[in-house]
Structure 1
Amino acid sequence: MRKTTPTALPSTNLACSRRGFLKLSGISAVGMGSMMFLAGCGPAAQETDDAGSTADDTAAATSFGSDGMLRVGMEAAYAPYNWQVSEESEFTMPIENVSGAYADGYDVQVAKLIAEEFDLDPVAVKLDFSGLIDALNSGQIDIICAGMSVDPERAESADFSNSYIDDDIVMITTEDSPYVNATTFADIAGATVLGQAATMYDTVIDQIPDVTHATPAETVPLVVENLANGRCDIITYSMLSVPKLIEQYPNFVELQMEEKFEGSAMPDNAAIVKGSDAEIMDRINAVIDGIPEDERQDMWNACMDRQPA
């Protein structure tokens, strides 16, 4: 994800360190007890939109932060990557299109560092995950920081940064499930497996032979709710978010699979308009690469602790 240089971009330093936020879970309010989920760390991944090199794209690419604002596209509903709160704090940024609301989360912390590098004021723009790349290419937002992973299709439509956190896909069942001791795909033959719509959590299920691929649920909380209510046998889930999930659902168990999904690694990449000035992406990557691994983990952990219950 990249964008073309806007008007003279200020050359500020990249103060990279900041906040603790990356831990291991993500659960959002679902049904009766509210809990946090992660929505798309990858989900990373969801949304494939073909954007050619049009005049509109060129205009968007040249307007990165041109009005002094960095508009950051995200769902604001995908904890711990991003979520919405009603009170401002040192960890938040305003949500431009939701009055009186603020965004927090791991993506938000990284976006704030990027905004600082460009001397811009960061604001979140709350959008459906599936519409983020369209919004980027239409100039509605300057950058995507939304638990989105680069993949070949997305890379045709936007320029993507280096990863600022890495996740993978695991499978979760219940402790009384007949599949609880499964270690290979053959061991879960006959199971009904559910993932989140428009994400890799759904598409990887096609790699498992002889299972029922359930109609995907729209959100992670709904995926979890389906397993909790016995409407499926197994769900696909974020590796980083498992500890928090099991804290909320003590009867859930992660399958200890020897057989892994292919291509399921889910980096969290920022995106800007395709064909943007290389200097913009270079500076974004310098910010990202300047965040030490231990600080990334601290950021994740803090977000996991801070996310809505």
Structure 2
Amino acid sequence: MKNKFTIVIVLLVSAVLLLAGCGTSKSSTSGSSEDKTFKVGLEAGYAPFNWTQNDDSNGAVKIAGSAEYAGGYDVEIAKKVAEGLGKELVIVKTEWDGLVPALTSGKIDAIIAGMSPTAERKETIDFSDNYYKSNLIMVVKKGSKYEGATSIQDFKGAKVTAQLNTFHYSVIDQIEGVNKKTAMDNFPAMRVALESGIIDGYVSERPEGVSASAANENYVMVEFEEGFETSEDDTAIAVGLAKGSDLTEKINDALAGISEEERTSIMDSAIKNQPAAQ
């Protein structure tokens, strides 16, 4: 009986170990599958950096969990980075305010969304090397008294806003006597507000200003001789990454392989290909 009991115990232990081994194998396979994707978060509403469209024309990428596609400068950069990493690009459409939380919680691997590596953001996340640099402008209505502005101080008394949680909104304070309006969630909302007269102008970056004026003949981009004071980090754009991410060096290598001429060409194409509604 004692020998039989010992045999039973041995068989039971063997079975448990076998099942445990199967579980480990399955988990490992699943993890391997995850490692083959590069999940990028962007809002898909900031043309020409990123936008939403209904098909895969002009190299647009399918948005995860949606029938829609994302296109734009950021998407093209993301494709090149994913290629450099040897991974499949997955676009995760995320509201601007939710991008950093999505990154820190592990829902996405990187933010490639026209985001500036500001000192405040660097307290929470890391950034790659810059992949674009732009100047700040103002978008106003064609025919308005602000169309011919050459200095930001020409907007004294004007109703001005910018996107929520961006440095664009903070620089409005540099305009003396400005009527600073509540920050808005996204650029389509600001364009509607401009069209309806709720605001006289909104602060943006040059590529978006070019897009706005190209999309609607009632919008004009104002470039300044005496513009906003900004730091290099404010006007630069980089890939947002989790603190200590092991992807940083590899992404920097991928970005280094994109020449300035190619970056300019990608942006020119993005401006040309953006949907009219954006």
Q: With the length of structure 1 as denominator, give the TM-score of the two structures.
A: 0.72
In the alignment, structure 1 residue 83 sits paired with structure 2 residue 51: yes
From 199, 202, 209, give the equivalent of 1:242: 209
Distance 2:163 2:32 in 1: 31
Structure 1 gap ranges (5+): 1-62
In the alignment, structure 1 residue 268 sits paired with structure 2 residue 231: no
Distance 1:252 1:146 in 2: 23
> What displacement does 1:153 show?
1.4
User: After the TM superposition, which residues 93-242 of structure 1 pair with which residues of structure 2 at under 5 Å, given as runs?
Assistant: 93-98=61-66, 100-242=67-209
Distance 1:68 1:300, change over 3 A: same
Distance 2:41 2:32 in 1: 13
Letter in 1 for 2:237: D
Secondary structure in 1 matching 2:35: coil
User: Does the Cα contact within 8 Å between 2:152 and 2:228 map onto a contact in 1?
Assistant: no
User: Does the Cα contact within 8 Å between 1:64 and 1:142 map onto a contact in 2?
Assistant: no
1:45 paired residue number:
none
Secondary structure in 2 matching 1:302: helix
> What displacement does 1:106 show?
1.2
Distance 2:65 2:37 in 1: 14
Residues 2-47 of structure 1, C-alpha deviations (whole Å, 9 max, x = no match): xxxxxxxxxxxxxxxxxxxxxxxxxxxxxxxxxxxxxxxxxxxxxx
Residues 57-111 of structure 1, C-alpha deviations (whole Å, 9 max, x = no match): xxxxxx898531111111122222122233235713332232x332222111111
From 47, 57, 60, give the equivalent of 1:92: 60
1:255 paired residue number:
222
Letter in 2 for 1:86: N
User: Does the Cα contact within 8 Å between 1:71 and 1:124 map onto a contact in 2?
Assistant: yes
Distance 2:195 2:132 in 1: 28
> What displacement does 1:182 show?
3.2
User: Does the Cα contact within 8 Å between 1:97 and 1:126 map onto a contact in 2?
Assistant: no
Secondary structure in 2 matching 1:131: helix
2:21 paired residue number:
none
Distance 1:168 1:64 in 2: 42
- Bigger RCO of structures 1 and 2 (CA < 8 A, at least 6 apart): 1
Distance 1:174 1:89 in 2: 31
Distance 2:274 2:208 in 1: 12
Distance 1:74 1:64 in 2: 25
Letter in 1 for 2:243: K
Distance 1:212 1:111, change over 3 A: same
The share of aligned pairs that are identical, in percent, is: 36
Q: CA RMSD in A?
A: 2.3
> What displacement does 1:286 show?
1.6
User: Does the Cα contact within 8 Å between 2:138 and 2:209 map onto a contact in 1?
Assistant: no
Distance 1:65 1:160 in 2: 25
Secondary structure in 1 matching 2:214: helix
User: Does the Cα contact within 8 Å between 1:65 and 1:120 map onto a contact in 2?
Assistant: no
Q: With the length of structure 2 as denominator, give the TM-score of the two structures.
A: 0.79
